[in-house]
Amino acid sequence: MTDPRRAVPRTDALLADPRIAKAAEPLGRDLVKSVVTAAQQRVREGLLTPEAIVDDVLAHLPGHATSLRPVVNATGVVVHTNLGRAPLSRAAVDAVAAAAGATDVEFDLTTGRRARRGRGALAALADEVPAAGGVHVVNNNAAALLLCALALAPGREIVVSRGELVEIGDGFRIPDLLASTGARLREVGTTNRTHLADYAGAIGPGTGFVLKVHPSNYRVTGFTAEASVADLAGLGVPLVVDIGSGLLAPHPLLPDEPDAATVLAQGAHLVTASGDKLLGGPQAGLLLGDAALVERLRRHPAARALRVDKLTLAALEATLRGPLPPVREALRIPLPELRGRADELCATLRAAGVAAEVVESAAAVGGGGAPGVELPSVAVSLPAHYGEALRAGQPPVVGRVVRDRCLLDLRTVPPGDDATIAAAVRRCG
């Protein structure tokens, strides 16, 4: 009997096939070879015929030389941490592509000398928040807080309310981060009530700064009290305010969400925030405030380890200078527009025999921003089994399953992706 393994096409022959060789140009030989090897194994196991192996290899090749896969976010969570937080605007994506090669990120083309790194992005950030005397950018908001502790409180105390010693995603705790710098935390007040007098009584010669943290992913209600930014700013020591979600100015839909401009106007000396949440840009930590303090942070040795790369600087500048990014577009889409899109999508799906219907939905900001705020929305409702099937598709479509129905919330779906969703659902049927 002939050994079936003799029928398996050779690796070199498959890699030389014109169709596979062309696909290998943008992906790289090693990646394509791994897909070829997997297909050969399927032939050995009798799961694939030798004649179909080239088509099988082409079907299993990724679209890009990365394991990250683009997905359609139909969850209704605008800033979805597990899906990469803020999707970049077209302008930001183009800026990243433009900055991918050699660029003048730290070079003055006029003088031929070294220049301030990321000066365009820093100028854009300063223009957005005129109340900030200085601005700096690091690689995320945790890094911004870390740099504050390293530069302003080495071996000293950081005064913070017990009600603001928060834990965020994946077990990350802000007090652990700050303590890792060698600073000492001086906890004041209680979980639900902290007064100005509590802070004042804790301040002394060993105080580095007072920290106020916005509890961005939860709410404490009932018998509560907290000291205002304006009151804390008058205690005679630097006040650092972590606003978290990255609003640079007030937003009409999110009246309880702190923003950098308002907090600085109330007297904060430094504000830290994220770039990839409500700002709608790349992952970054924003530092805004007193020019001398910002410069002190910028010149600290750790600032080099925490700095952002040229791609982040390019995306951040384009986010600030360019058109509204997807996050802010998603917040402002009117309900009638969402309902019209849902009606059209459902009609298309029902014509293909899919049991789809239009339902009201409640979207969320997500990413630790505006806890408790519900954004009225509209979703396409499908039988629950579509949830798993759509996630397994290409491209994956991620919805949410509620009471045995798979909901595809259109507030987080760009209008141009409606046809993609329709095609994905039809393939699952």
Report the C-alpha gap between 262 and 268 in whole angstroms: 9
Identify the DSSP state of 52: G
Report the C-alpha gap between 370 and 272 in whole angstroms: 17
Residue identified by tokens 């979207």 is: 363
Size of the chain, expressed as the number of residues it contains: 429
Query: Which of 116-130, 168-182, 205-219, 364-378 has maximum average pLDDT?
Result: 116-130
Domain positions in the chain are 11-60, 72-84+328-428, 90-324
**Which of these, 16, 32, 34, lies nearest to 24 by C-alpha position?**
32
Q: Is the pLDDT of residue 244 over 50?
A: yes
Report the C-alpha gap between 158 and 184 in whole angstroms: 6
When computed from its CA atoms, the radius of gyration of the chain, rounded to whole angstroms, is 26
Cβ neighbours of residue 360 closer than 8 Å, sequence gap 6 or more: 376, 377, 378, 379
372 backbone dihedrals φ, ψ, rounded to 5° = 85, -10
Sign of CA dihedral 180, 181, 183, 189: negative
- Reported as a single tens digit per residue, the pLDDT across 173-211 is 889 999 999 999 999 999 899 999 999 999 999 999 999
> What's the mean pLDDT in 334-353?
97
Report the C-alpha gap between 119 and 45 in whole angstroms: 58
Question: Between 388 and 169, where is the model more confident?
Answer: 388
Domain 72-84+328-428: which CATH class?
A: alpha beta
Tokens of 321: 């200078």
Residue 316 near residue 139, CB atoms below 8 Å: no
- Reported as a single tens digit per residue, the pLDDT across 97-108 is 999 999 999 999
- Reported as a single tens digit per residue, the pLDDT across 37-67 is 999 999 998 889 999 999 999 988 888 888 8
Q: Is the pLDDT of residue 1 over 50?
A: no
Report the C-alpha gap between 376 and 334 in whole angstroms: 9
> What's the mean pLDDT in 246-272?
95
* Residue 71 confidence (pLDDT): 96
Question: Between 166 and 213, where is the model more confident?
Answer: 213
- Reported as a single tens digit per residue, the pLDDT across 123-175 is 999 999 999 999 999 999 999 999 999 999 999 999 999 998 888 767 778 89
- Reported as a single tens digit per residue, the pLDDT across 392-419 is 998 999 999 999 999 999 999 999 999 9
* Residue 2 confidence (pLDDT): 56
CATH tag, 90-324: 3.40.640.10
Spell 31-51 as b/e; 16+ CB within 10 A means b: bbbebbeebbebbeeeebeee
Residue 192 near residue 220, CB atoms below 8 Å: yes
Q: Is the peptide bond before 395 cis (omega within 30 degrees of 0)?
A: yes
The overall average pLDDT reported for the chain is 93
The helix or strand, by DSSP H or E, that contains position 351, with its residue range, turns out to be: helix 335-351
> What's the mean pLDDT in 212-232?
86
